[in-house]
Amino acid sequence: MIHPGFRRALPRLPRALPALALATALLAGCATPGQAPSSPTNEAPVRVKVLAINDFHGNLLPPAGGIRIADPARPGETLQVQAGGAEYLASAVQSLRAKNPHHVFVAAGDLVGASPLLSALFHDEPTIEALGLMGLELSAVGNHEFDEGLAELQRKQNGGCHPGDGCKGPKPFEGARYRYLAASTVDERNGQTVFPAYAIKRFDGVPMAFIGLTLKGTPGLVSPSGVRGLRFEDEVQTVNRLVPELQRQGVQAIAVLIHEGGYPTGGHNECPGISGPIVDIVERLDPAVDLVISGHTHRAYVCRIAGRLVTSGDKFGTLVSEIDVELDRRSGDVRSVSAGNVIVQHDRFAKDAQQTALIAGYQQVAGPLIHRHVGRIAASFDRDETRSPGGGTAMGQLVADAMLAATAPADQGAAELALTNIGGVRTGLVLQGDGSVSYGDLFAALPFGNALVTVELSGAQLLQVLEEQWRGQPKFRPLQVSRGFAYTWDPARPVGQRVLPDSVTLNGEPLRAERRYRVAINAFLQAGGDGYATLTQGQAAVIGPRDVDALEAFVKAQPGPLQPSSLDRVRRR
């Protein structure tokens, strides 16, 4: 087993420590590599509880709206359950861990990045500390861990003050108590993985390996500066190459923590149908892999794919995947594995006192900015693109309208329309009390601090941008458009021809292929993020304000409470 004291020291190991070196350190004093565990007289299996989360994204406080699940009393309907938040998550983990002395708490990436202001203001140091207090031991590196670049991620692992902002928290930042794993992420300067590829933990003498992976498509999801000099290798090839290495060390039980996922059709503990990249990945994995813990898509599921158990725990700490594994003492392999997603309900779990104290310390510093009043809403602004046939969302359209308002003046770019990616809009605005909206609410929706950029595109290029919503994407990722811009798309038409050219209009006028248009986007899209390569061709760029500042100004300027706009800008035939 990983000794608690040694686990705390793990972050101090060399940054590019090869996986084998880490595994050897963890196995020191245990079975000789290549030998199976000696068989005791008692042949009962070792029962292990693996607890897992994914896509926490710095949600120290409960996310607005909690989690939406199937309503057991009304088939076909859903209901919202108040869930999540570090205080309740810590209690849930503690309660589940108490069921079995053989346990491990792991994660599938995106623990930080795209975080609410309480965490983001301190470069996610509060989240790193909170997860350490909960007893998290291992995590894959997600794409959002690279939002501020490799050097900053290494600082999160190893500790120390931020090089630009210094130490802003209530106490010095000591780094993560848990170990990041990155089997497929290679530093091109030295050919080494940026963090160990895997870790091995022993349960009553029987070893189990955990391989950590970042999705191969990370460069298309992160600003180029965040992944410069890094190579993201194929997930399946990486795992299958490591399996023999682990087996030579006597390890037969193998779990994969991967920041990639799928799109299920059932409830949070079901999987009647699942699509997306995780399906192909799992189907091609070496048969020796017993368990896959996934993430990235912000969905919840418990699946069997190619005979293997595959789990995902939604997002923002609203669920904990409770996975029960039986290890054979003689062979060291997995006898059985089962799982269920446990909702971190506020009426089931109490607040953890340590988490409450940690959060309070950071709130004392950040509170005035978080709670600064901005305006009011008359109804909730939803962000779920799947609830509209065309893909428009009330929150996405609000952001696009704010972008247009901020960049329409001649000195800010003279924009005629605005486009924003749905992935950059992290959450909506939930109507509460008198409808008051704070700066913290707006920052939760737009946490990246992207600058707005106005560029010039031809009508033909703009049409090509719209077609890129379906190119190279695991699913339709709709652009959110500003008022006055409209079009129709047809899912029956082939990719590359789905937008009906004659339907595209700007302020009632048909789009003209040869005309030049001024388009406001964010810096992420200008760099070709989310696969929008055509946006990199924009000319005569003018840099504007940050997206969250534009949204704040727009909300402040409204004479009364904001109403969501109708979702008819983008129509699906």
Q: How far apart are CA 412 and CA 10, in angstroms?
A: 49
CA nearest neighbour of 142 among 110, 183, 111: 110
Residue 139: which H helix or E strand, with range?
Answer: strand 138-140
Q: Are residues 211 and 296 in the same domain?
A: yes
Residue 332, domain member (yes or no): yes
Q: Are residues 41 and 190 in the same domain?
A: yes
Written as one string, the DSSP assignment of 196-236 is -SEEEEEETTEEEEEEEEE-TTGGGTS-GGGSTTEEE--HH
What is the reported pLDDT for 447?
95
Q: How far apart are CA 408 and CA 405, in angstroms?
A: 6
Token pair 């498509």 in the structure block, residue: 217
Q: Are residues 431 and 305 in the same domain?
A: no
Which is it for strands 300-305 and 308-313: parallel, antiparallel or unpaired? antiparallel
Q: Are residues 162 and 305 in the same domain?
A: yes
Q: How far apart are CA 282 and CA 202, in angstroms?
A: 25
Paired residues of 353 in beta bridges: none
CA nearest neighbour of 448 among 398, 381, 522, 394: 522
Q: Are residues 385 and 252 in the same domain?
A: no
Q: Are residues 408 and 265 in the same domain?
A: no
Are 385 and 423 in contact by the 8 Å Cβ rule? The answer is no
Are 142 and 214 in contact by the 8 Å Cβ rule? The answer is yes
CA nearest neighbour of 536 among 419, 457, 424, 451: 457
- Dihedral angle sign, alpha carbons of residues 70, 81, 562, 522: negative
Surface-to-core class of residue 487, CB atoms within 10 Å of its CB (0-12 exposed, 13-18 middle, 19+ buried): buried
Token pair 């949204």 in the structure block, residue: 551
Which is it for strands 570-572 and 485-489: parallel, antiparallel or unpaired? parallel
Q: Are residues 396 and 443 in the same domain?
A: yes
Q: How far apart are CA 490 and CA 154, in angstroms?
A: 45
What is the reported pLDDT for 477?
87
CATH code (residue 392): 3.90.780.10
Q: Are residues 337 and 482 in the same domain?
A: no
Paired residues of 520 in beta bridges: 418, 454
Are 418 and 482 in contact by the 8 Å Cβ rule? The answer is yes
CA angle, residues 314, 320, 323, in degrees to nearest 5? 115
Q: Are residues 42 and 149 in the same domain?
A: yes
What is the reported pLDDT for 20?
38
Three-state DSSP state, 47: strand
Residue 24, domain member (yes or no): no
Count of the separate structural domains present in the chain: 2
Residue 16, domain member (yes or no): no
Q: Are residues 327 and 399 in the same domain?
A: no
Residue 37, domain member (yes or no): yes
What is the reported pLDDT for 386?
84
Residue 233, domain member (yes or no): yes
Q: How far apart are CA 48 and CA 57, in angstroms?
A: 27
How would you write the pLDDT of the chain (573 residues) with one tens digit per residue?
333 333 333 333 333 334 433 443 343 333 333 344 444 445 899 999 999 999 999 999 999 889 999 888 888 888 999 999 999 999 999 999 999 999 999 999 999 999 999 999 999 999 999 999 999 999 999 999 999 999 999 999 999 999 999 988 998 999 999 999 999 999 999 999 999 999 999 999 999 999 999 999 999 888 888 999 999 999 999 999 999 999 999 999 999 999 999 999 889 999 988 999 999 999 999 999 999 999 999 999 999 999 999 999 999 999 999 999 999 999 999 999 999 999 999 999 999 999 999 999 999 999 999 999 999 999 999 999 888 899 999 999 999 999 999 999 999 999 999 999 999 999 999 999 999 999 999 999 999 989 999 999 999 999 999 999 998 766 788 999 999 999 999 999 999 999 999 999 999 999 999 999 999 999 999 998 888 999 999 999 999 999 999 999 999 999 999 999 999 999 999
| Backbone torsions φ then ψ of 408, nearest 5 degrees | -70, -35
Token pair 């909170």 in the structure block, residue: 130
Residue 59, domain member (yes or no): yes
Residue 179, domain member (yes or no): yes
Three-state DSSP state, 11: helix
DSSP letter assigned to residue 150: H
Q: Are residues 525 and 487 in the same domain?
A: yes
Q: Please give the model's pTM, rounded to 2 decimal places.
A: 0.84
Q: How far apart are CA 220 and CA 111, in angstroms?
A: 19
Residue 123 structure tokens:
């470069």
Residues 6+ apart with CB under 8 A from 237: none
DSSP-H helix ranges across 276-388: 277-283, 353-370
CA angle, residues 457, 398, 479, in degrees to nearest 5? 45
Three-state DSSP state, 17: coil
Backbone angle region of 307, left / alpha / beta, with phi > 0 → left and psi within -120 to 50 → alpha: left
Q: How far apart are CA 166 and CA 489, in angstroms?
A: 49
Instruction: Give the range of the structural domain holding residue 74, as residue numbers without chain letter.
Output: 30-343
Q: Are residues 276 and 396 in the same domain?
A: no
Which is it for strands 67-70 and 78-81: parallel, antiparallel or unpaired? antiparallel
Residues 6+ apart with CB under 8 A from 256: 210, 211, 213, 239, 285, 289, 291, 292, 293
Residue 354, domain member (yes or no): no
Residue 384 structure tokens:
């779920």
CA separation (Å) from 102 to 59, 93, 292?
A: 28, 14, 19
CATH code (residue 271): 3.60.21.10
What is the reported pLDDT for 31?
36
Token pair 């705390």 in the structure block, residue: 8
Are 112 and 81 in contact by the 8 Å Cβ rule? The answer is no
Q: How far apart are CA 110 and CA 131, in angstroms?
A: 12
Q: How far apart are CA 323 and CA 523, in angstroms?
A: 40
Three-state DSSP state, 479: strand
What is the reported pLDDT for 536?
94
Q: How far apart are CA 267 and CA 249, in angstroms?
A: 39
